[in-house]
Each structure stands twice: as C-alpha cells, then as structure tokens.
C-alpha cells in the first residue's frame, strides 16, 4: 500500500479479493466463478500489482536514475530488480528495459507508453487506426502497422533480444514476463508474440495495462494460441481498451482483443466502494467486462492499482542521460542502449539471436 495516483480524489476501499468474494458471493453468482479462476494460474493479483510498477517505472525519462534503479518509482514491490539494459529509440521516442526480478525469478521486459505532448491527441488518433498490415506468416491476420513497426522496425527488437540473452547468461534459463501500459502494452504484445513464434520461447507471459486493440479476430486467435499466458488488465472506464472501436456487427472487418481481459470495477454498497476484479471469458471481447460500461475516462487510464502510469511531465520526447561511466552503445541514428558494465552487448543479427535463444 502507500501508493496513490496524483490528481485522483476518488475514495475507494480496496479489500483483498478473496475476502471480498467470500463475503459478498451471495450478491452475485458470477463472482463465485471468478473466485475459482482467481486461485488457478490464469491470473495472479499479486503479480499484477508488481508488474504495474514496472509499467510505471519505464516512463521515467532520467536514464541514470533508471539505470541505477534509484528513481522515485523504482522502489516498493520492485526494489529487488537487477537492470540489464535500457533501450531507447530516439527517433520514435520509444523506451524499454530488460532486467531480472529476483522475487518473481523472471526476466522482466517493460515498454513505455506514449510520451507525446498530449495523451488526448494520441487517444483521438486511435479512433482512426486501420487494420493495414498482414501479420507475417499468419494468413488473414491483420494488425495495425504503427504498433507492429514500433517493435519490429526500431531499435527495440534487437535491443530487447540482446538484453534477454544477457539476462539468461547471467541468471540461467528463467521465465520471461513482458509488460507495458497503453501503447507500451500494444508493443509488449508484439514482443511476446515474437518471442513465442520466432524464438520458440515457451515460457513467455504477457500482462498489459490499459492497452488498445491491435489486430482483427483471426489475429487474436493466433495470438492466444501462441501466447496463452496473456492478461490485459482494464481499469473501470479506461477509454483506451475500447479503441480502435469494436464493431460486433462487422466481425470480419473489426479490431478484436485477444484474451484474456481482467476487469477492475467497483462494487458499491451504500456509501462504501469496493474494488473488485473480474476474470473475463476466453473470447477476448467479453460483453460483461469492460465492454459493459462506456470507455469515457482518461483518469482511469492513467492510474492502475493506485500506481501512476504516465510520463512525469508531458512535453516533447525527453531523454535525460548523465552517466559517469557511460556503458553506452549508439547507432548512426542516435539510438542507444545503456547496459550493465559486466556485459558486452552488441546488436546481433536476428539469426544469431535466434540460435542463441534456441540453445538456452
Ligand atoms: C501469486 O504470485 C505470488 C508471487 O509470485 C506468489 O507468491 C503466490 O503464491 C501466487 N499466488 C497464487 C494463488 O498462485
Ligand atoms: C522501417 O524503418 C525505416 C527506418 O526508420 C523507415 O525508413 C521505413 O519506412 C520503415 N518501414 C516501414 C514499412 O514503416
Ligand atoms: C452477460 O451479459 C448479458 C447481457 O449483456 C446477460 O444476458 C448474460 O447473462 C451475462 N452473462 C453472464 C455470464 O453474466
């Protein structure tokens, strides 16, 4: 506890879900089903409250604070994190990091959301995103090219793969968890799919917060086949998961979420408001989860589990780097990777990365 989002004055009483469901199960028969799901491996609330802090920390623009893990968001549940590398694509204003969470015993890969002048503009643009790219190797699977290329056609992909290889060399063959918020969640999804499909990583888990839709229904069924351990957490009336729009009367042409959503919502009892979570069905578009309410809140987009999910300040792409011993690798576009001094990263060709991941 102890965290709360700035500018959020709603009072809410969050209680342990298990307790809540036992206590109020008589109110709503559906909750009994969720209780069953909650204790299976589909969704772990504790893990969600840890990963959301990584999705928040990756917004920090002071790379020295991030690299030394001393930033204001780099404490609490994510204190025991060993950073391996930070990857920055300057041209496209993208940022990600790779490291190891010793408590989770997993490699964590986190992607930052948009850091443009105005998140409102970014959200408005989402209305008009087209399904304009065929996902390679998946017949009839369509995605939005912008999110796809943000991962595949920037510094991110090679930087992430390199970081994962180093993490595996340093810490052994442990699992991989990929996370991100908003646009960072969309990029994280393409990363998890890439690891599963192109690098045959069987242990990849994905958990995103407030992510938009990224592809059509055929894409989403491929996605859940390859990345079965995927959770999209949606907070109450967060508008972004409602975008680009879903047209149920136009199933072959519409965007369609991949499963599985976990929806945070309020149970109101008199003057008390309780935070609850619903584990949604395996369709990706459960009508009784976030789709049962209108997506009209920006506030709900920027705060998950009491954790701030936005840049510290909204302005033009901002990168602060002031390392004494710059373990810094740059390319001719000015993009760079900051890496631990006991590793020697180099951007390998995808084929080399492939061999290395296979043998580990
Ligand atoms: C959820 O994850 C935490 C942290 O890894 C673990 O300690 C706990 O046992 C898990 N809970 C369930 C119900 O699996
Ligand atoms: C991929 O990135 C390069 C360099 O930034 C750019 O010139 C090219 O247009 C991009 N490709 C696509 C299909 O967006
Ligand atoms: C889902 O919502 C619909 C109405 O939209 C309702 O008829 C149905 O019973 C609900 N299903 C469950 C499992 O709650």
pLDDT-based confidence at residue 326 (cuts at 50, 70, 90) = low
50 lines ligand 1 (CB under 6 A): no
Q: Which of 152, 133, 153 is nearest to 143 (CA)?
A: 133
Interval 226-235 mean pLDDT: 97
Give residue 39's pLDDT. Answer: 35
The answer on pLDDT for 1 being more than 90 is no
**Atom 2 of ligand 2, residue of closest alpha carbon:** 153
Enumerate the domain spans of the chain. Answer: 15-359
Give residue 331's pLDDT. Answer: 73
pLDDT-based confidence at residue 16 (cuts at 50, 70, 90) = very low
Ligand 2, CB within 6 Å, residue ranges: 149, 153
Lowest mean pLDDT among 120-124, 207-211, 299-303, 342-346: 342-346
Q: What does residue 357 show for φ and ψ, rounded to 5 degrees? A: -65, -35
* Å from CA of 288 to ligand 3 middle: 6
For 15-359, CATH gives 3.40.50.1820
Measured in whole angstroms, the distance separating CA 271 from the mean position of its chain's CA atoms is: 33
CB burial of 184-216 (b: ≥16 within 10 Å; e: otherwise) equals bbbbbbbbbbbbbbbbebeebbbbbbbbbbbbb
Q: In this structure, which ligand is nearest to the CA of 149?
A: 2
Which atom of ligand 2 is found nearest the CA of 91?
A: 5
Ligand 3, CB within 6 Å, residue ranges: 30, 287-288
CA distance 310 to 326: 27
Highest mean pLDDT among 105-119, 244-258, 284-298: 284-298
Give residue 218's pLDDT. Answer: 97
CA distance 279 to 154: 34
Q: In this structure, which ligand is nearest to the CA of 132?
A: 2
Burial class (CB in 10 A: 0-12, 13-18, 19+), 227: buried
Give residue 319's pLDDT. Answer: 75
The answer on pLDDT for 10 being more than 60 is no
Give residue 357's pLDDT. Answer: 53
Interval 288-302 mean pLDDT: 96
- Comparison of pLDDT for 114 and 210, the residue scoring more: 210
Burial class (CB in 10 A: 0-12, 13-18, 19+), 85: buried
Give residue 78's pLDDT. Answer: 96
Interval 150-177 mean pLDDT: 92
- Comparison of pLDDT for 115 and 130, the residue scoring more: 130
- Comparison of pLDDT for 210 and 30, the residue scoring more: 210
Q: Mean pLDDT for the chain? A: 84
- Taking only the tens place, the pLDDT of each residue in 243-281 is 999 998 888 889 999 999 999 999 999 999 999 999 999
Query: Beta strand 303-304 with 272-279: parallel, antiparallel or unpaired?
Result: unpaired
Instruction: Say if residues 82 and 107 touch (Cβ distance below 8 Å).
Output: no
Q: In this structure, which ligand is nearest to the CA of 207?
A: 1
pLDDT-based confidence at residue 43 (cuts at 50, 70, 90) = very high
Which atom of ligand 1 is found nearest the CA of 41?
A: 14
Residue keyed to tokens 């089903």: 33
* Å from CA of 263 to ligand 3 middle: 15
- Taking only the tens place, the pLDDT of each residue in 46-105 is 999 999 999 999 999 888 899 999 999 999 999 999 999 999 998 888 999 999 999 999
* Å from CA of 243 to ligand 3 middle: 22
Q: Which of 136, 149, 334, 335 to mutate to test the pocket of ligand 2 (most atoms within 8 A of CB)?
A: 149
pTM (2 d.p.)? 0.87
């Amino acid at each position: 506890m102890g965290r709360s989002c700035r500018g959020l004055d709603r009072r809410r009483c969050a209680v342990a879900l298990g307790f809540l469901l036992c206590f109020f199960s008589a109110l709503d028969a559906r909750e009994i089903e969720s209780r069953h799901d909650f204790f299976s491996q589909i969704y772990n609330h504790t893990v969600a409250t840890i990963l959301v802090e990584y999705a928040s920390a990756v917004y920090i623009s002071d790379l020295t604070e991030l690299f030394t893990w001393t930033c204001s968001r780099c404490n609490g549940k994510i204190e025991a994190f060993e950073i391996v590398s930070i990857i920055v694509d300057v041209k496209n204003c993208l940022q990600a990091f790779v490291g190891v969470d010793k408590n989770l015993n997993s490699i964590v890969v986190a992607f930052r959301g948009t850091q443009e002048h105005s998140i409102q503009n970014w959200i408005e643009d989402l209305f008009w995103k087209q399904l304009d790219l065929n996902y390679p190797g998946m017949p009839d699977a369509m995605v939005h090219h912008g999110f796809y290329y943000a991962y595949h056609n920037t510094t991110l992909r090679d930087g992430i793969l390199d970081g994962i290889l180093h993490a595996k060399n340093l810490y052994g063959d442990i699992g991989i968890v990929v996370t991100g918020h908003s646009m960072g969640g969309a990029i994280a999804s393409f990363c998890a799919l890439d690891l599963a499909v192109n690098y045959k990583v069987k242990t990849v888990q994905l958990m995103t917060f407030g992510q938009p839709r990224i592809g059509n229904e055929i894409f989403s069924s491929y996605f859940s086949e390859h990345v079965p351990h995927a959770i999209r957490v949606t907070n109450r009336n967060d508008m972004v998961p409602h975008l680009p729009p879903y047209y149920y009367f136009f199933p072959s042409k519409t965007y369609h979420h991949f499963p599985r959503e976990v929806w945070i919502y309020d149970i109101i009892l008199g003057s008390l408001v309780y935070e609850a979570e619903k584990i949604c069905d395996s369709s990706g578009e459960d009508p009784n989860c976030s789709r049962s309410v209108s997506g009209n809140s920006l506030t709900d987009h920027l705060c998950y589990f009491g954790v701030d999910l936005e840049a510290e300040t909204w302005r033009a792409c901002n990168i602060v780097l002031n390392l004494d011993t710059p373990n810094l690798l740059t390319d001719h576009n000015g993009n760079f990777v900051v890496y631990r001094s006991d590793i020697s990263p180099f951007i390998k060709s995808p084929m080399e990365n492939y061999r290395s991941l296979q043998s580990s």
